[in-house]
Amino acid sequence: MTRILKHLVFPALGLLLFGCGSKIEIYEWVRLDYYSINANSRDTLFGDESVHYEDYAMLVQLNPINFTTVSSSDWVQASEGFQAKNRIVKLEVITKTDYNKAKPSGKLLNDILVASFIEEGDNPENRVFLDDFVSEFGKKSNRIEEGFEIYFREGGGFAAPCTGYLDPEDPDNEDNQKDYENCMSDSKQFEIFIQLSNGTKFSGTTFRINLENE
């Protein structure tokens, strides 16, 4: 497995006094890369590797490049402080395989996902619900992040893979047991979709991964 090198954080290089306001660097995103990683070891995960679902992360790398330099006062008034030319307006993670009984193939997973800046998710306090994280990403931060990481919520329930198949009131039901075993033996795959405020769309699909929940 390939070790993920520590990702850089792009600071706003300006913040130099200039006239009625400071100068800040504005970035744009022209390409997105997607990785599956073990959040504990920081190793990249390739096809059909196994990891506990709470240690699994989807790393979204934004590859920002410098676009222009503007007066910070003008930019804050015009764009609420975002330091990217076109901010993210939509991010969706969709399961390409049956994740659990409540999330079959094709279902949106946003409600069971959280996110953090790259390499900050080891502290659960830095993780916030995915939709809330994206709405604030890059806003009034004085820096441009190179990307972020997406995790499944901890604590079990329908955030865990293959839940919902076994009926606790009928634990010996052979059909339920078979459905659960089939789900556990099937590797999981996810599609990530991102749209920017100018209409640009990016999408990518992760490698198939064997997610454990025990």
- 29-42 pLDDT, tens per residue? 778 898 999 999 99
The whole-model pTM stands at 0.79
Q: Is residue 36 part of a domain?
A: yes
- Number of domains comprising the chain: 1
pLDDT(190) > 50: yes
Q: What per-residue confidence (pLDDT) applies to 4? A: 46
The confidence score (pLDDT) of residue 75 equals: 47
Average confidence (pLDDT) over 72-92? 64
Higher pLDDT, 28 or 179: 179
Tell me, yes or no, whether 2 lies in a domain. no
In whole numbers, what is the pLDDT of the chain averaged over residues?
79
Rounded CA-CA distance 110/195 in Å is 15
Task: Answer whether residue 39 is part of any domain.
Answer: yes
Query: What is the C-alpha to C-alpha distance for residues 22 and 78, in angstroms, rounded to an integer?
Result: 15
Tell whether 3 is covered by a domain.
no
Least reliable range by pLDDT among 46-50, 70-74, 84-88, 207-211 = 70-74
Residue 109 lies in a domain: yes
Question: Rounded to whole angstroms, what are the CA distances from 153 to 53, 68, 106, 124, 204?
Answer: 9, 37, 19, 10, 21
- Specify if 210 maps to a domain: no
pLDDT at 45 over 70: yes
Domain with 155, as residue range(s), is 10-203
* Residue 183 belongs to a domain: yes
Does some domain include residue 213?
no
Among 89-93, 115-119, 156-160, 195-199, the range scoring the smallest mean pLDDT is 156-160
